[in-house]
Amino acid sequence: MNEPLRVGVVGAAGRMGTLARERISAADDLELVAEIGSTDELRQALRDTATEVALDVTAAGLGAAHGLEMLEAGVRPVIGTSGVTLEENEALDAAAREVRLGGLVVPNFSLGIWLLLRAAEEAARHFPRFEVVEMHHLAKLDAPSGTAIQTAERLAAVHGRDPADVPIHSIRLPGLLSNQEVMLGGDGEVLRLRHETYGLSCFGPGILAALRYARAAEGVGRGIEHAFEAAGD
């Protein structure tokens, strides 16, 4: 039997960090060895704990820089923080391949969003126009969300269009957690694909799948589908 995968959580005190710590600690094949906060020196903390895979769930916009620091420390990154652009993802992928490591950038860890994206891509092949509506709690400061940006990227690719041409509408209201709707319009009809979350627990299985996937990944991919599809092989 393989030794448990040594995992560090960056942003360990936050809501997603707390969920990740709980799920990792309960998994037989994972070992939580580092709980890293904003005052810790990231590379040193990872080296001191011999972390193998690190999960970043910090503030939007920090994920790419943290991913590069992880790779410099010889650690495989799983970036769950919003704001990693396609260009930054490509840079992480290139840096990882140079040192023969891998990881994953994950705009959204939920099973439902993965399935929504698959359905939306299929629908986009038949509908000429589509827009994305993302709805989040007031504490989410980045807009549009990383999930909505990824959705626009995937839908635009179906038609060979620029993702910037896919309208995204951002809503921030009390009472919301993390919802998304894709609306597709055709002659005389509209198709709505909607995903709603009612608790952070929906992200738990995806976090674990992403960490396990990263253990043997080559390069840094984008999207939880890599992990879910690998787990189903």
Q: Copy the structure tokens of residue 131.
A: 């827009």
pLDDT in tens, 86-118: 999 999 999 999 999 999 999 999 999 999 999
Give me the pLDDT at residue 49, please: 97
Domain ranges of the chain: 5-109+201-232, 111-196
Q: How far apart are CA 207 and CA 80, in angstroms?
A: 9
Q: What number of H helices and E strands is found in the chain?
A: 8, 10
Q: What are the start-end ranges of the H helices in the chain?
A: 15-26, 42-48, 63-72, 86-98, 111-124, 146-159, 204-214, 225-232
Active site residues: 136, 140
Topology classification of domain 111-196: Dihydrodipicolinate Reductase; domain 2 (3.30.360)
Say what the pTM is. 0.90
- The CATH code for residues 5-109+201-232 is 3.40.50.720
**In angstroms, how far is the first alpha carbon of the chain from the final one?**
19
Contacts of 91 (CB under 8 A, 6+ apart): 64, 68
Band (pLDDT 50/70/90 cuts) for residue 233 is low
pLDDT in tens, 43-62: 999 999 999 999 999 988 99
Query: Which H or E run includes 80?
Result: none
pLDDT in tens, 141-177: 889 999 999 999 999 999 999 999 999 999 999 999 9
Q: Which of 229, 227, 222, 225 is nearest to 209 (CA)?
A: 227
